[in-house]
């Protein structure tokens, strides 16, 4: 049985997981599901955005429009991640969905997918070369940590501000 730990740089367990690829994140969800008997996965991009926007509200950042109250980003991070929960939670009580680390989601990346997708609960492209990250990270400017921000990277890509958030069921 593999022992998982935060692979990030000199971080303790209060910091978000960082430096993981999409493949690592999916492997972890499988390991955690097997270990606990509960079902874990990466959220879809639509689920992630709905949660980040406090249940679908019009918010620039997850938790409101005042970035400094809800996010760690280049202007206030000191060039590092911070323990989870030091900034204000969003309307659903979820912390750090804007800033701190990018979060992998399940979907394939297509830069123009949402121009033609269904409005309600889009499922994302069926295939692609890149997976989607959401939320921005500590080394990004304010625009890069907006709740609507997204990027694509290869499933093996890793970065100092790239982590994950899990979706689960009881």
Residue 170 has pLDDT above 90, yes or no: no
Share of the chain above pLDDT 70, in %: 93
Q: For the whole model, what pTM was predicted?
A: 0.90
Task: Give me the residue label for tokens 């997981």.
Answer: 17
What's the whole-number mean pLDDT along residues 22-33? 96
- Beta strand segments in the chain, E: 39-41, 102-108, 131-134, 150-153, 162-164, 167-169
Report the mean per-residue pLDDT for the chain.
Answer: 91
Q: How far apart are CA 108 and CA 2, in angstroms?
A: 27
Q: How far apart are CA 43 and CA 49, in angstroms?
A: 10
Residue 9 has pLDDT above 70, yes or no: no
The candidate with the shortest Cα–Cα distance to 101, out of 41, 145, 161, is 161
> How many C-beta atoms lie closer than 10 Å to residue 114's C-beta?
16
69 membership: H or E segment, kind and range: helix 67-70
Q: How confident is the model at residue 54 (pLDDT cuts 50, 70, 90)?
A: very high
Q: CA 118 from chain center: how many Å? A: 22
Dihedral (Cα; 41, 42, 46, 47), 10-degree rounding:
60
Q: Can you give the pLDDT at residue 22?
A: 97
């Amino acid at each position: 049985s593999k022992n998982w730990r935060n692979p990030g740089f000199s971080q303790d367990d209060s910091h978000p997981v960082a430096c993981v690829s999409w493949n690592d994140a999916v492997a972890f969800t499988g390991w955690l599901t097997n270990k606990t008997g509960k079902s874990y996965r990466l959220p879809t991009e639509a689920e992630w955005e709905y949660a980040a926007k406090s249940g679908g509200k019009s918010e620039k950042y997850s938790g409101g429009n005042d970035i400094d109250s809800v996010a760690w980003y280049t202007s206030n991070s000191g060039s590092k991640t911070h323990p989870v929960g030091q900034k204000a939670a969003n309307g659903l009580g979820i912390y750090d969905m804007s800033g701190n680390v990018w979060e992998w989601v399940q979907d394939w990346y297509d830069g123009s997918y949402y121009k033609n997708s269904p409005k309600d609960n889009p499922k994302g492209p069926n295939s692609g070369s890149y997976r989607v990250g959401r939320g921005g990270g500590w080394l990004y400017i304010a625009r890069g940590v907006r709740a609507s921000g997204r990027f694509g990277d290869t499933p093996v890509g890793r970065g100092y501000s790239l982590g994950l958030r899990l979706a689960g069921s009881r």
